[in-house]
Structure 1
Amino acid sequence: MSLETVAEDIRDEARARAEEIRIDADERAEEIIEAAEADAEEIREQRQAEVEREIEQEREQKLSSAKLEAKQERLEARRDVLQSVRDSVEAEIASLEGDRREELTRTLLDAATAEFDDDAGVQVYGRADDADLLESILADYDGYELAGEYDCLGGVVVESESSRISVNNTFDSVLDDVWENNLRDISSRLFEEQ
């Protein structure tokens, strides 16, 4: 064998080896690219899932916040309506006149007198506009006298110095009690709750 044949064999062998290395490198590069693409796809899917979770969480928070705000606005509107009804009732009570006002005032004064056995010097306070009415009514009660004004819708506040008792039988106090005891029913009727 000649030197040239040996050199040619070595070259062929080197070429074959280089081709094997290139094929191996191409296969390895393909594997690396596939692995990288799979990792990238997995990362993309994870990130997409995270983004979807964040979007859902933010949507839930905004929905919850909107529901809470709507509920607060409904409650505020209900409070406004209830206050309007209360104001209307107070205006109606304040405008009572004549026999009806006298009847209610006498009833409240009679209820208060039960607390004052035979006390002398019982003082009665009432609405300034009711002074004449109270004077007329008190003429029927011995030892009772109109002592001054009381800021109220009507009715009486009765006090005795000797027994240190004070009874608030104003229209306001009666309305407060009735309102408090019936607020749930009033609200149910106004807002048609079951």
Structure 2
Amino acid sequence: MSLETVAEEIREEAEEQAEAIRQDAESEAEEIVSDAESEAEEIVSDAEAEVEREIDQLREQELSSAKLEAKHERMSARREALDDVRDRVESRIADLDADQRRELTESLLTNSLGEFAEDAQLAVHYAAGDEALIEELLEGRQNVAPAGEIDCLGGVVVESESSRVRVKNTFDSVLADVWEDELKQISDRLFDEQ
């Protein structure tokens, strides 16, 4: 065998090995590219799904926020309407005619005095402008005296001078009690929620 033949065989063998290595490398490269494409598709699919989840979450948050804001606005409007009703009621109480004012004040005074012993020394506070009415209602009572004005719509606050017991029977306090007891019904009636 000649040197040239051996060299030719080595070269052919080297070319065959190189071709086999190249084919293996191409096959491996195709597999790597295919795996990378699959992985990229999976990453894109996962990213799209995550974006959709985030969009859904943001949409839900915005909807929830809008509902909450609407609820706050409704509550604020209701509160304003109830405040307006209460203001109108207070205004009507303040504008009672003399006979109604006298009747209510006398009833509240009688109830207040009933809370004390008959011989207790009592002081009666009253609304501005009711001094003459209170003096008239207290006429003939030895142990009860007018004690001055207080800030209220009407009615009385009676105090015992000896025990410092105080009974508050003002138009304001009666209204506050009624308002608290009847607020749900008032609200239901105003806003048709029966």
Q: Distance in 2 between matches of 1:185 and 1:154?
A: 25
Q: Secondary structure of the residue that 1:158 maps to in structure 2?
A: strand
1:150-165 equivalent positions in 2, closer than 5 A: 150-165=150-165
If the length of structure 1 is used for normalisation, what is the TM-score?
0.86
Q: Match for residue 109 of structure 1?
A: 109
Cα distance, 1:165–1:3 mapped onto 2, change above 3 Å: closer
Q: Distance in 1 between matches of 2:87 and 2:68?
A: 28
CA deviation vs aligned residue, 1:136-182 (integer Å, no higher than 9, x gap): 22225443222211110001111221343321111011011111111
Q: Letter of the aligned partner of 1:31 in structure 2?
A: E
Could you list the runs of 4 or more consecutive aligned residues of structure 1 that deviate by over 6 angstroms after TM superposition?
A: none
Q: Does 1:175 align with 2:175?
A: yes
Q: Distance in 1 between matches of 2:31 and 2:162?
A: 107
Q: Match for residue 46 of structure 1?
A: 46
Q: Does 1:126 align with 2:126?
A: yes
Cα distance, 1:168–1:127 mapped onto 2, change above 3 Å: same
Q: Match for residue 65 of structure 2?
A: 65
- The structural deviation recorded for 1:11 is 4.7
Q: Match for residue 24 of structure 1?
A: 24
Higher mean C-alpha displacement, 139-148 vs 170-179: 139-148
- The structural deviation recorded for 1:56 is 2.1
- The structural deviation recorded for 1:54 is 2.2
Aligned 8 A contact 1:125 1:157 in 2? yes
If the length of structure 2 is used for normalisation, what is the TM-score?
0.86
Q: Letter of the aligned partner of 1:55 in structure 2?
A: I
Aligned 8 A contact 1:119 1:160 in 2? no
- The structural deviation recorded for 1:192 is 2.1
Q: Distance in 1 between matches of 2:140 and 2:101?
A: 17
RMSD over equivalenced CA pairs, Å: 2.3
What count of residue pairs does the alignment treat as equivalent?
194
Q: Which runs of 5+ in 2 are unaligned?
A: none
Higher mean C-alpha displacement, 60-69 vs 87-96: 60-69
State, as a whole percentage, how many aligned pairs show the same letter.
Answer: 60
Q: Secondary structure of the residue that 1:80 maps to in structure 2?
A: helix
